[in-house]
Each structure stands twice: as C-alpha cells, then as structure tokens.
Chain A
Amino acid sequence: NAGVTQTPKFQVLKTGQSMTLQCAQDMNHEYMSWYRQDPGMGLRLIHYSVGAGITDQGEVPNGYNVSRSTTEDFPLRLLSAAPSQTSVYFCASSPLGLYSNQPQHFGDGTRLSIL
C-alpha cells in the first residue's frame, strides 16, 4: 500500500516563483491536510479539506492555496514564494475530520528551500 505520496521530495525555488506540491492518498480518506514543520516548532496546519470540493484554512494559511477536486488528491500551491516559506511540508490524511480522535497518516514530506 502506498498510503500518502508526496512529490517532489526536494525543491529549490527563487523568491517570487510559484509551484505546486503534490499529495495523493490511496486509502479513500475524506480528510486531508497540509502541515509545515520548522526547527523547534511543532507541525503547524496550513490548510485542510473534509472532502472533495471543500477546503478551509488552518493556523498559517497566508501565501498558500489549495483545492480538492477528487478524494485522492490535495495539491498545495505557493503563489509567490518567499524565504519565510522555506520549510518541510507534510501532507496527511485520516478517515475522519479535523477534531477527530483518529490518527493522521503522513507522507514523507517535501523539503522546500526558497532563495
């Protein structure tokens, strides 16, 4: 089972460039989310989706955009990259929603550097 798959694994961008981080899951989970992980800080929620066509903002949404056209895919778009967005990005999914007591299943991350 693939679980949650993220691409690319590594990316270097210049300030002002845009790009899309891909996330796909094969577990038929309704709930998907994006986190960023920075040194000394816990994982912080960027955006989440409770099903196809439904998305909402998390704790740190500024500079990012998402859409959910299928159950399987949940891409994260950086509109105009800034050095402050240098981070490791994780996609996660679970069968239930944001306030659920079910664990999240994580991908292996995209390591993004903005120069």
Chain B
Amino acid sequence: EDQVTQSPEALRLQEGESSSLNCSYTVSGLRGLFWYRQDPGKGPEFLFTLYSAGEEKEKERLKATLTKKESFLHITAPKPEDSATYLCASTGRRALTFGSGTRLQVQP
C-alpha cells in the first residue's frame, strides 16, 4: 500500500532560521512527488513536482529534493509570510496519496 509520511507535524522557526521538512514515501512505480502549500481557509497551492531521485527544484526561499525514499523541502532564511501548512503527495501505480502535512510557523 502506498504511504506518505511527513515530519515534523508542526515546526516553529524564527525569521531567518533555515530548516527542512521531511516527506518519506513508499510508492510502487513513482511517477511524481509533489509539494503543495496550504494557507488557512484555502485550498492547496502547487509548488513543485519531482520525478526522479537526485532531482532538485527551487523557488525563492524553497528548495525541494528527492531521494529514492524521501523528499525534503528546505526553507532558507524564512520570512513570516512562509507560514503555512506544507503538503507532500506522491503518485505511482495507485492514485495520488497525500501526507498529513507539516504546519510551519515563522515568527518575526
């Protein structure tokens, strides 16, 4: 059975304090690993798709990386506006499977 597990559940950072969010996945025939951002009261907003181990993608202060078992979302020098819940999801031979998310709070 496909599984996606995110850690930590919640993370509190000071502005400028870099950190990483983890997404561990068990998927048969990975076709894509997705990262989404979700703000309170809103739907998930697409950030990145990673397709194969070793791939990296960047957007502003965010960088996503992928290994054969994990994906990391690195946040460099975060700002308060980066506060949100970050969701990881994978798709393989089964339908899209979501993790339960990491709730990030960045304090000024």
Contacts and interface: CB of A to CB of B under 8 A. Distances in A.
Contacts of A42: 4, 87, 89, 97-101
A34 interface: no
Interface residues of A, number: 24
Nearest to A48: B95
B93 A43 contact: no
B100 A40 contact: yes
Contacts of B31: 99-101
Given A4-B43, A90-B44, A101 B32 contact: yes
B77 interface: no
Interface in A63-104: 90, 92, 98-104
Interface string A18-44: 000000000000000000000011111
Contacts of A106: 36, 43-45
Contacts, number: 61
B34 interface: yes
Contacts of B43: 4, 90, 92, 106-109
A45 B98 CA distance: 10
A34 to B, nearest CB: 12
Contacts of A108: 41-43
A78 to B, nearest CB: 20
B46 A105 contact: yes
Interface of B: 4, 31-32, 34, 36, 41-46, 49, 51, 87, 89, 91-101
5 tightest A-B CB contacts, nearest first: A106-B43, A101-B32, A42-B98, A103-B46, A43-B98
